[in-house]
């Protein structure tokens, strides 16, 4: 699902870009009528219409980069579900194995022998802790120095149990690595998204402020009001920024200076 942080900015960018493109020719003609009488010999009016279109394109490019970064991050987050589910299933299987083994060993050797058999604490639920705990149990059971059963004649194959634990533990370890990789990838896309938002906010502020001045100079305060940047919501125009609740503060996005053409 797209981030509201981004879609709110995208909406404002669309308004500013559309306004700049729609009124570029008209504003240029009116500014020429206003300013051309002040040209000196050999001077000519700059192409205000083209310049306005270029500014609008620069803002559109920053908007598109921000949206693309948001989509990439959302796609990465969507990939996290399967590895986490697989990890949790593997952890549940190992937890069940160790819980049943604890009960079996308690009956076979007595509760006093559990610490010697690797069960020094309660079996943890956390997958990472569980994987390490299972390793301790497997090492203890593989030490070949097991206590004597409380009842004679009972035989138990510790090697088979160790192999089963190590198999479940290995599966969980693999899924833990998958989740860790997905977490790092999500962190990377989040950093890229944050940087794209900061660059967009900076460019939006300058582009929108430029259009405000241009429209005002041409004598159209109503057009300027429509693209005026919000002082409370970075990356948005005042018309799109919701009012701040009484006693609350508007969130402030991190600032990052970026060149208009960067």
Q: pLDDT (tens digit, 9 = 90+) per residue, 103-119?
A: 999 999 899 999 989 99
CA distance 65 to 123: 48
pLDDT tens digits along 131-151: 999 999 999 998 877 788 877
Arithmetic mean of pLDDT, 205-234: 96
What gap in Å lies between CA 127 and CA 219, rounded to an integer?
66
What average pLDDT does range 124-130 have in this prediction?
A: 97
Which pLDDT does position 29 carry in this prediction?
A: 96
Placement of tokens 């956390």 in the chain: 126
The dihedral formed by the CA atoms of 32, 38, 44 and 50, expressed in degrees to the nearest 10: -30
Predicted confidence at residue 257, as pLDDT, reads: 36
Q: Are 77 and 176 in contact (CB under 8 A)?
A: no
155 vs 212, residue with greater confidence: 212
Within 8 A by CB and 6+ apart from 159, the residues are: 142
Residue found by looking up tokens 């053409």 in the block? 261
Q: Cα separation of 143 and 146, whole Å?
A: 7
Name the DSSP class of 150.
S
* Alpha-helix residue ranges (DSSP H) falling in 110-244: 127-141, 158-217, 221-226
Domain boundaries, the chain: 85-183
Q: What is the pLDDT of residues 25-58, one digit of tens each?
A: 999 999 999 999 999 999 999 999 999 999 999 9
- Cβ 24 vs Cβ 53: under 8 Å: yes
Average pLDDT rounded to a whole number, residues 120-132? 95
Q: What is the pLDDT of residue 136?
A: 95
Summarize the confidence of residues 150-177 as an average pLDDT: 90
* Whole-number Å distance between alpha carbons of 234 and 218: 26
| Residue 173 and residue 134 in contact, taking contact as beta carbons nearer than 8 Å | no
Return the closest-CA partner of residue 165 out of 86, 91, 94.
94
Please report the pLDDT score of residue 254 as a whole number: 42
Find the farthest-apart pair of alpha carbons in the chain and give their distance in angstroms, rounded: 116
Residue 250 pLDDT: 47
Report pLDDT for 252. Answer: 45
Query: Would you state the pLDDT for residue 258?
Result: 39
Structure tokens at 140: 């203890």
How far apart are alpha carbons 211 and 224 in whole angstroms? 7
> 249 pLDDT exceeds 90?
no
pLDDT value, residue 58: 98
Share in percent of the chain as helix, strand, coil (round to 5): 70, 0, 30
């Amino acid at each position: 699902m797209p981030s509201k942080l981004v879609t709110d900015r995208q909406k404002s960018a669309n308004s500013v870009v559309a306004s700049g493109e729609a009124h570029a020719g008209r504003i240029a003609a009116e500014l020429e009528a206003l300013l051309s009488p002040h040209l000196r010999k050999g001077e000519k009016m700059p192409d205000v219409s083209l310049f306005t279109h270029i500014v609008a394109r620069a803002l559109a490019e920053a908007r598109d980069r921000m949206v693309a970064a948001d989509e990439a991050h959302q796609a990465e987050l969507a990939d996290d579900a399967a590895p986490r589910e697989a990890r949790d299933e593997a952890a549940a299987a190992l937890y069940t194995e160790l819980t049943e083994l604890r009960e079996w060993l308690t009956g076979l050797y007595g509760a006093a022998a559990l610490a010697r058999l690797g069960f020094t604490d309660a079996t943890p639920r956390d997958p990472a802790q569980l994987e390490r705990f299972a390793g301790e149990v497997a090492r203890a059971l593989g030490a070949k120095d097991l206590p004597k059963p409380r009842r004679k004649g009972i035989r138990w194959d510790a090697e088979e149990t160790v192999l089963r634990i190590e198999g479940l533990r290995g599966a969980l370890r693999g899924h833990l690595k998958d989740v860790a990789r997905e977490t790092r990838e999500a962190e990377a896309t989040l950093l890229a998204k944050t940087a794209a938002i900061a660059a967009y906010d900076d460019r939006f502020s300058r582009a929108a402020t430029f259009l405000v001045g241009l429209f005002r100079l041409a004598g159209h305060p109503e057009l300027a009001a429509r693209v005026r940047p919000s002082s409370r919501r970075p990356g948005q125009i005042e018309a799109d920024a919701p009012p701040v609740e009484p006693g609350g503060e508007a969130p402030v996005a991190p600032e990052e200076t970026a060149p208009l053409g960067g």
